[in-house]
Amino acid sequence: MPTRPSQREPDREASWIQSRALVGARIRALRIERGLTQEALALESGVTRNILIQVEHGKRGLLYERLFDLADALEVSVSDLVRPE
């Protein structure tokens, strides 16, 4: 039996892809709004720049803890990162 949602629930996987893109775009918008480079945000949050790039492009999700680290570095709540515009 498949264990990955992409193997058994394509609609759910599509929803996750969309969510990753929205969260990544929100992180990028807040970073730019605050005048931070990717490198500066990476250093401040403890998330590597390579991971941050992938997150901002919606190609990678985040661990729960890293979401809080990025929110702290951007001085917003986690809900600000995950809410739709």
Mean pLDDT of 1-27: 82
- C-alpha 84/C-alpha 46 separation (Å) is 25
- Does the pLDDT of residue 52 top 60, yes or no? yes
- Identify the band that residue 4 occupies on the pLDDT scale cut at 50, 70 and 90: low
Return the structure tokens found at 59.
């190609």
In the block, tokens 């570095």 appear at 73
Structural domain boundaries in the chain:
10-74
pTM of the entire predicted model: 0.86
- C-alpha 76/C-alpha 51 separation (Å) is 20
Q: Which class would CATH give 10-74? A: mainly alpha
Return the structure tokens found at 37.
């480079």
